[in-house]
Copies of this chain bind each other. A is one copy, B any other.
């Protein structure tokens, strides 16, 4: 069958029954209440949660072949939790696990691939599997029992609450914890900031293990996750590499192309009628978002207004804007650098929030429903404004879905930023290889070569008037594609086999695309 973004998808993929993406929804009424695997359980008096090592904790959880384990990805490529835990699981001879972190980051020594190859892991669900693991999957170098399921951030808590993804054991890395499991990522030598991705794991998993390298006196303050959800606590030597935990997102780029894109992005926001006292925005991490935040702060100061909130992943640039009095509150589900991590602990207007509160469309409302401006990165955009944030020009796994589809759908004005070419690869194309975000939810594409408005977006008329009034010129998306192709040539299609390696879910749980196995020479 063909879904609403024109992708051909089988009705069943193994045992997975496909609900095809059917276009933007209005209201879904669910009959079944949310589910959890957490059980009421009383501890014996004096029973100790603090166990001597990971092996003792894993044995205490009763982890068995075929179960599901989870992790957060807030330590990013500095993560040392996942490798340590999987190594002990391997030593214990436990096989066939479903690996369901919030995202897979490209860790090495040991790599995740080795655990797939030896059968410790045989299924994967995450928002992304960037790097070695992703490439091994799409190239067919590893054999999984079912295709990888990739979900946006907002969709993971929904999948857990509907029971589509049940977690037997959640391993939660924390940069500070006490012996009863109260913990946080905000303080300590390896602080990673908000633990927003882990809240749903803490409340919904059968067993929860907190892993820290910084055991603090009871009670741990700040208290991001409560002891009432934690079964065991383990102290290890090191939970992460601080140099890699911070994504280095605070630096201001000097790349003129990125600065130009960031400036245009801020110009568009400032030109909008929604840019008024109390406006809200999400920029995210990376060179363009950080530069854009700085430009937006200046516009806000010049206008003599204040933003009411920003949302999602935080950077030092956003903290600066807050400290300048230009932004009242920061709702942080993730922290991209040390400055942003620390701010939550120090400032009552910087709040750590549940990732589900941030982005889950099946909540009684997520904060995205209130967002005016959302800035999104992309690997590719096509002439239907569909976005690819997963795969590169030869099908390699370059990114994760992240919160992009959620933000695009939730924000009044969603702005995709990308250069029209990267090296000899066009970024604006006829048809994205992998569709992660439907074009109907994308309002604007900003490139160094021009700004394209999506005439089918619900904000088009308003935005067109506002940009015209501000003298901001726009071009068609087709002209950007033509320009890109004129520089690179028309790209050759990526050849695939029929075998589906990844299922790409949209934020509503439907299938927006699949990734078939890449034919390699």
Bound complex: CA A120 to CA B365 (Å): 31
* Chain B hits for A365, CB < 8 A: 43, 49, 180-181, 227-228, 230
Query: Which residues of A368-405 have CB atoms within 8 Å of chain B's CB atoms?
Result: 369-370
In contact, A364 and B41 (Cβ under 8 angstroms): yes
Nearest chain B CB to A12's CB is how many angstroms away? Answer: 24
If A40-B162, A228-B356, A353-B226 touch, whether A217 touches B308 (CB-CB below 8 Å) is yes
In contact, B33 and A364 (Cβ under 8 angstroms): no
In contact, A228 and B38 (Cβ under 8 angstroms): no
Nearest chain B CB to A101's CB is how many angstroms away? Answer: 22
Bound complex: CA A32 to CA B47 (Å): 22
Query: Which residues of A186-212 have CB atoms within 8 Å of chain B's CB atoms?
Result: 206, 208
In contact, B39 and A367 (Cβ under 8 angstroms): no
* Chain B hits for A254, CB < 8 A: none
* Chain B hits for A29, CB < 8 A: 41
Bound complex: CA A237 to CA B180 (Å): 43
In contact, A227 and B39 (Cβ under 8 angstroms): no
Checking B27, B37, B230, B349 against A221 with a beta-carbon cut-off of 8 angstroms, the contacting residue is B349
A498 at the interface (CB under 8 A from B): no
The number of times this chain is found in the oligomer is 2
In contact, B42 and A357 (Cβ under 8 angstroms): no
* Chain B hits for A223, CB < 8 A: 351, 353
* Chain B hits for A40, CB < 8 A: 28, 30, 34, 158, 161-162, 362-363
Residue interface mask A212-239, B partner, CB < 8 A = 1 = 0000011101110011111100000000
A361 at the interface (CB under 8 A from B): yes
Q: A357: nearest residue on chain B (CB-CB)? A: B228
Nearest chain B CB to A232's CB is how many angstroms away? Answer: 9
Nearest chain B CB to A510's CB is how many angstroms away? Answer: 13
Q: A40: nearest residue on chain B (CB-CB)? A: B362
Residue interface mask A1-42, B partner, CB < 8 A = 1 = 000000000000000000000000111111111111111111
Bound complex: CA A47 to CA B181 (Å): 39
Bound complex: CA A19 to CA B258 (Å): 69
A418 at the interface (CB under 8 A from B): no
In contact, B362 and A218 (Cβ under 8 angstroms): no
In contact, B351 and A221 (Cβ under 8 angstroms): yes
Nearest chain B CB to A387's CB is how many angstroms away? Answer: 20
A329 at the interface (CB under 8 A from B): yes
The secondary structure that dominates the A interface is loop
A469 at the interface (CB under 8 A from B): no
* Chain B hits for A49, CB < 8 A: 365
* Chain B hits for A162, CB < 8 A: 40
In contact, A33 and B37 (Cβ under 8 angstroms): yes
Bound complex: CA A19 to CA B228 (Å): 25
* Chain B hits for A348, CB < 8 A: 221-222, 345-346, 348
In contact, B361 and A42 (Cβ under 8 angstroms): yes
Nearest chain B CB to A504's CB is how many angstroms away? Answer: 20
Bound complex: CA A36 to CA B364 (Å): 14
Q: A202: nearest residue on chain B (CB-CB)? A: B364
* Chain B hits for A208, CB < 8 A: 364
* Chain B hits for A25, CB < 8 A: 42
Q: A231: nearest residue on chain B (CB-CB)? A: B364
A360 at the interface (CB under 8 A from B): yes
Residue interface mask A330-357, B partner, CB < 8 A = 1 = 0100000000000001101101011011
Nearest chain B CB to A193's CB is how many angstroms away? Answer: 16
In contact, B33 and A38 (Cβ under 8 angstroms): yes
In contact, A370 and B180 (Cβ under 8 angstroms): yes
* Chain B hits for A28, CB < 8 A: 40-42
Among the interface residues A226, A349, A361, which one has the most CB atoms of the partner chain B within 10 A?
A226
Q: A309: nearest residue on chain B (CB-CB)? A: B219
In contact, A367 and B34 (Cβ under 8 angstroms): no
Bound complex: CA A49 to CA B363 (Å): 13
Nearest chain B CB to A64's CB is how many angstroms away? Answer: 17
If A27-B41, A27-B47, A28-B42 are given as contacts, then 4 extra A-B residue pairs at C-beta distance below 8 Å, sorted by A number, are: A26-B45, A33-B37, A35-B36, A43-B364
Closest 9 interchain pairs by CB? A40-B362, A228-B363, A228-B357, A30-B40, A27-B44, A28-B42, A30-B39, A26-B44, A226-B357
